[in-house]
Amino acid sequence: MGYQIPRGTQDILPGTVEKWQYVENKAREICSRYNYKEIRTPIFEHTELFLRSVGDTTDIVQKEMYTFTDRGDRSLTLRPEGTASTVRSYVENKLFGLPQQPTKLYYIGPMFRYERPQAGRYRQFVQFGIEAMGSDDPSIDAEVMALAMDVYKELGLKQLRLVLNTLGDKESRKAHRDALVAHFEPRIGEFCHDCQNRLQTNPLRILDCKKDRDHELMKTAPSIHDYLNDESRNYFETVKSTLTDMGIDFVIDPTLVRGLDYYNHTAFEIMSDAEGFGAITTLSGGGRYNGLAEEIGGPATPGIGFAMSLERLLLALDAEGVTLPIEDELDCYLVAMGEAAKEKAPSLLYQFRKAGLKADKDYMDKKIKAQFKAADRTNAKFVAVLGEDELANGVISVKEMETGNQTEVKLEEVTQYILNQI
Ligand code: HAM
């Protein structure tokens, strides 16, 4: 064997790719219903963008980025997520100046993180995400969560849990941060090296530490909910009551902090409770990032969004045993017998395709029996059989595979005949 695929990446082959196309189409359809428009940004950006937005103390920036220097000596990074690029583009293209606000965008594309690969965790994965910028109306927070849940529900998932928290505004976060430092500082020596660093740089992230998760100080750590100012509390209350009015179930988890720095107010994750989904139960995550546009040189702009990976979505569908209604069949397979018929076949097949039929024929010089077998394998609805005699008489025989009914049709009418039947 010569070359192997890089660790943590996947080839998506025919037979599986149809599932990807199906879920992508579903995501696009739901975005169009919610009036989100697609944005496509580059796969790499200036490294600095991610340092400023995702945050230079986060795991993503410190351990997971694919960063390289190009031939012009610029530091570039394969995007680890989509929010930074989307907000960069929003600022750079002055989308805030367009008459229709908020700016509601979605993306579907590959992201790259140098993580330890395992089920549901890849080094290249595809995120579907949305970003709504320009509004701090709590009902748009609810809209973002509703859209995310709709994608899962409409694909047939049932064992879902929407977990919600608030991180408060700047002022509330500052008060909470100080309380966290005071709480952990006296005994920080008992925590892992990462947490010791986090104490000053990003104490909130201590709460998210996998190694120290069972330390007794974790359970008694001050909750952001005790440090919310009135504005933050009211905001959160409205988000919750809007979700309730919409009939969307959620649970509150005051320890949900998210792994990226740009969040404030609403933060949420959608989990799968399906048995067999694996150790990682998070399907998607998102939240509000007021101030991010400003941070990267734009005007003060509220924003909220979420992202899910299609890999985890497909794993969840498998775990719940959901079969997607994928149609992958040909309308017609053309079987040709004899030299003259084989010569006629390409133009006839071309005629089928121009008329909009999904059609194919043999290219491997197969015997008749093998051609029928090939037709079977394509799940063709009809098999059109062209033999020497038929050709001489200007007819072709058309067999409907489901019923076995066979009809002789004039050659010049066969395309219309099949079109009428399907
Ligand atoms: P995140 O929580 O880092 O947030 O990632 C969002 C989702 O991407 C995860 O819930 C998961 O579905 C998927 N994901 C992340 N890493 C991997 C991986 N290595 N393999 C497979 N799937 C993965 C963000 O990326 C934010 N930009 C979300 C957001 C948008 N917040 C506001 N707007």
Residue 99: other Cβ atoms inside 10 A: 4
Q: For residue 257, what pLDDT band results from cuts at 50, 70 and 90?
A: confident
Mean pLDDT of 25-45: 98
Q: Mutate which of 39, 111, 127 to test ligand 1's pocket (most atoms within 8 Å of Cβ)?
A: 127
- How many secondary structure helices (H) and strands (E) does the chain include? 15, 16
Please tell me the residue having the least CA distance from ligand 1 atom 21: 121
Helix (H), strand (E), coil (C) string for 39-63: CCCCCEEEHHHHHHHHHCCCHHHHH
Q: Measured between alpha carbons, how far is 112 from 124 in angstroms, rounded to an integer?
A: 5
From the CB of 311, is ligand 1 less than 6 Å away? yes
With contact defined as beta carbons under 8 Å apart, do 152 and 316 qualify? yes
Structure tokens at 163: 């977990």
Residue 253: burial class (beta carbons within 10 Å; 0-12, 13-18, 19+): middle
pLDDT at 87 over 80: yes
How far, in Å, from the CA of 313 to the mean position of ligand 1? Answer: 12
pLDDT value of residue 57: 86
288/84 Cα distance (integer angstroms): 13
Q: Are the CB atoms for 270 and 308 separated by under 8 Å?
A: yes
* β-bridge pairing 264-272 and 251-252: unpaired
Closest C-alpha to ligand 1, atom 33: 305
Q: Check: CB of residue 270 under 8 Å from CB of residue 149.
A: yes
**Ligand 1: residue whose CA is nearest its atom 25:** 81
- Minimal CA–CA distance to 81: which of 290, 314, 285? 285
> Would you say the CB of residue 303 lies under 6 angstroms from ligand 1?
no
Distance 282 CA to ligand 1 centre (A): 9
Kindly report, residue by residue over 169-226, the tens digit of the pLDDT. Answer: 999 999 999 999 999 999 999 999 999 998 998 898 898 888 998 999 999 999 999 9
% of the chain at pLDDT higher than 90: 91
pLDDT in tens, 410-421: 999 999 999 999
The CB of 121 under 6 Å from ligand 1? The reply is yes
From the CA of 82, give the closest atom in ligand 1.
27
